[in-house]
Structure 1
Amino acid sequence: MTELDRKTPPQFNGVENINLIHPERQTLVNGTKLFVFNSGEQDLVRIEFIFSNLRFDPAKPLMNVAVNTLLNDGTTTMTAAQIADKIDFYGAFLQFDYGYDNSQVTLYTLTKHLNATLPVVKEVLTDSIFPEKELATYKRNQQQKLQVSLQKNDFVARRLFNEAVFGDTIYGKAAQPEDFQSLNREDMLQHFKQMYQPANCTIVIAGKAGAEVIAAVTNTFEDDWNNTTAKGDTNQPEVKSAEERFIYKEKAGALQSAIRIGTPFVKRSHPDFPALQVLNTVLGGYFGSRLMSNIREDKGYTYGIGSGMASFKNAGSFFIASEVGADVCKAALTEVEKEINQLKADLIPDEELSLVRNFMLGSLLGSLENVMSHADKFKNIYFSGLGYDYYERYAETVKNITAQDLKALANKYYDFDNFYKVVVGKY
């Protein structure tokens, strides 16, 4: 038996190609855009119905999320329980998700049950009635849930940061407990009719989606699903950030302080975005990052700290977030500033940069485990107005970016003095 050589690490084989599945595309007669990812052996499909949110109204900040959440609470012919029973009977699953830019309804089902499950989804998307009883329950439960969350420092810090960076927009203005009481059924029905219609819908199918699956979807959602009213305005107000850069909310007796630091930032469509993702990973984007090594491992100020980049349709942000001991809050901020300034002053060592490259490329490959994850990658670029060349540029950037490039980016984009700094707790 050959003895293992435990002193020499195994050779790393770099990622050469990222092979992404491209969808079949078509536009239905009613204006619905359809994208189909047909792959896999299991007779399972995921069908996503994605709708652009209507223009945000600061006087009614909950409208988009409340309408999406209550879609399955009843139609003219079915109660919420009957909707759930019909979907459950076929072993299917119906999911409702709200995002800043889009809201969606997702059906997971076996292909053999499509003709039974799709009509239920169609009724939800065309005939939801938002019953008063369910609306009252939603308002009461969500109001209580929000009041509990507002006692958590990290939750409050995130809200204050978003409000400072994104202003009075869908990304920045968070609901208050009293906003739930202003929700009413008539407003929600009008919002629903303007938003949930074919001209504002993108359908993404992923799974074993052959001709019979496409036919089932088009037969259900093309022939008699019509744009019955003018599509609502989906343009969002311009982002105006706050002038005040330091926001402090004291919590007497707090043992920990939540900190959130960052700035308005470039979106995914910006040419520098992939390179800035590399820089962000070095700083705080994975467990071996500089922020984790310094503030968690070396100083012991926190259990965890990280940085990230948020990209939306009309805005973006860069942020650093953590909860630290209240007695070391100022020291933690000093260390964050030190790490930012070091990226601006010194070149990242080759060994560290190589580790980050391998982590990022490995993460990209690992995120492509099935056809549904390929569809998710497509949505990232499609709703950002990009093509598949984005991922080619991303991989090439990760492989080839130099320490000099990253230092230049840090000096261009990381200005700690002008970052927004939010502290909730003790400072």
Structure 2
Amino acid sequence: MTVLDRKTPPQFNDVENIHLIRPEEKTLDNGARIFIFNSGGQDLVRIEFIFSNLRFNPFKPLLNVAVNSMLTDGTSKMTAAQIADKIDFHGAFLQVDYGYDNSQVTLFTLNKHLNATLPVVKEILTDSIFPEKELATYKRNQQQKLQVSLQKNDFVARRLFNEAIFGDTIYGKAAYPEDFESLNREDMLAHYKQMYQPGNCTIIVAGKAGAEVVAAVTSTFEQGWDHQSAKGDTSQPEVKSADEHFIYKEKAGALQSAIRVGTPFVRRSHPDFAGLQVLNTVLGGYFGSRLMSNIREDKGYTYGIGSGMASFKNAGSFFIASEVGADVCKAALTEVEKEIDLLKTELIPEEELSLVRNFMLGSLLGSLENVMSHADKFKNIYFSGLDYDYYDRYTETVKNITAEDLKLLANQYYDFNNFYKVIAGKY
């Protein structure tokens, strides 16, 4: 009988290399670019159609998200119900997703049903009509959801933080219930025709994506999908952060307060990004982080607290977020400042740094479970203007960065006095 030794932790094994699947590339005659990740034993494929969002208009803040959300709500030939029925009949799955930089349509389907499902996607991308009845339902539902969300302190704090950091841009300007009243079909159609064009489309195919799949995608989307109007402007306004660094939204009788602390930050393309990810992980990037150990485990101020780095096409941010008891809000902020100051004044012990290294490299390896995960890693670098050397540099940084390096980064980038501090609730 084997006796388990519960006192000795399992040995760490170093991660030597990260092997990433690289795509084949093809450009259609109409300008759409295709990246193909061909791997996998099952006859399943995921096809993503990704479009850069048009330039943000703060007077019409809902256009990018509303147009994307309603792509599946009807064409001149099919109603929303008919679209859903046709996709469901073939055991496929179709979804639309909106992000700050890009919007996309994603199809999951068995290979044998490609010839039935791809034409549905093409019709959505070329002939969506945004029916008035569906638009009225969308506006009503979204208004109600937003009004409910605006009662939640964490939702309010996140919006106020983004607005302070990113200003009047697509990253910072949030919609309010009254903005839905000005949303109209004419504006949406004009936006749709400019944005959902082949020259503004990146198609990423992942799964069992052999020659037959590529041929099906090519034949479907190369013919009959042309530029419908003048090319849309996909540039974005310059980010200008707020002058006021402390924002307090009081909510009478609140038992909890939402905290959001942070600053404009470097993006993925910056040479310090990987090192700062290590520093962020130590501070608040995993369950064993210093913020969790102090503010949750030791002080008991919260159920959860964490920090993160957001990297977008035109901006970035570093943030710390939590919800704490209203009576300990000030004390929690004091502890956050204390943990940041410790990173600037004391070296991280080697045992702690080794744990963080293994956590980060293990998370990277664990995120590569299938070919679609490899495609996701490609999107991170492709839309950031980077190449695969990024992951080599990332792993080398995580493996070799020293406590002295991290202390220098903390002193360079973590200035708590100059951080934006947002409180929603009671302070």
Q: In which range does the TM-score fall when normalised by the shorter chain?
A: over 0.9
The amino acid that maps onto 1:140 is R
Unaligned 5+ segments in structure 2 are: none
Deviations 1:175-195 (A, max 9, x none): 010000100000000000000
1:208 corresponds in structure 2 to 208
1:54 corresponds in structure 2 to 54
* Aligned-partner SS, 1:254: coil
2: distance between equivalents of 1:315 and 1:54? 16
Deviations 1:361-386 (A, max 9, x none): 00000000000000000000000000
1: distance between equivalents of 2:41 and 2:289? 39
2:299 corresponds in structure 1 to 299
2:272 corresponds in structure 1 to 272
1: distance between equivalents of 2:298 and 2:70? 47
* Aligned-partner SS, 1:302: coil
2: distance between equivalents of 1:185 and 1:340? 49
Deviation of 1:229 (Å): 1.1
Deviation of 1:223 (Å): 1.9
Deviation of 1:26 (Å): 1.1
2: distance between equivalents of 1:4 and 1:248? 53
Q: Does 1:42 align with 2:42?
A: yes
2:257 corresponds in structure 1 to 257
The amino acid that maps onto 2:295 is I
2:102 corresponds in structure 1 to 102
2: distance between equivalents of 1:422 and 1:78? 46
The amino acid that maps onto 1:310 is A
Q: TM-score with structure 2 length normalisation? A: 0.99
The amino acid that maps onto 2:190 is Q
Deviation of 1:260 (Å): 0.1
1: distance between equivalents of 2:397 and 2:350? 15
2: distance between equivalents of 1:78 and 1:10? 58
* Aligned-partner SS, 2:303: strand
1:196 corresponds in structure 2 to 196
Q: Greater CA deviation, 252-261 or 221-230? A: 221-230
2: distance between equivalents of 1:208 and 1:411? 48
2: distance between equivalents of 1:116 and 1:44? 14
1:147 corresponds in structure 2 to 147
2:111 corresponds in structure 1 to 111
Deviation of 1:3 (Å): 4.1
1:400 corresponds in structure 2 to 400
Deviation of 1:5 (Å): 4.1
* Aligned-partner SS, 1:352: helix
1:352 corresponds in structure 2 to 352
Q: Percent identity?
A: 85
2: distance between equivalents of 1:203 and 1:365? 25
2: distance between equivalents of 1:136 and 1:45? 34
Q: Does 1:181 align with 2:185?
A: no
Deviation of 1:8 (Å): 3.3
* Aligned-partner SS, 1:94: strand
Deviations 1:20-77 (A, max 9, x none): 0000001111000100000000000000000000000000000000000000110011
1:160 corresponds in structure 2 to 160
2:364 corresponds in structure 1 to 364
Q: TM-score with structure 1 length normalisation? A: 0.99
The amino acid that maps onto 2:382 is Y
Unaligned 5+ segments in structure 1 are: none
2: distance between equivalents of 1:284 and 1:5? 31
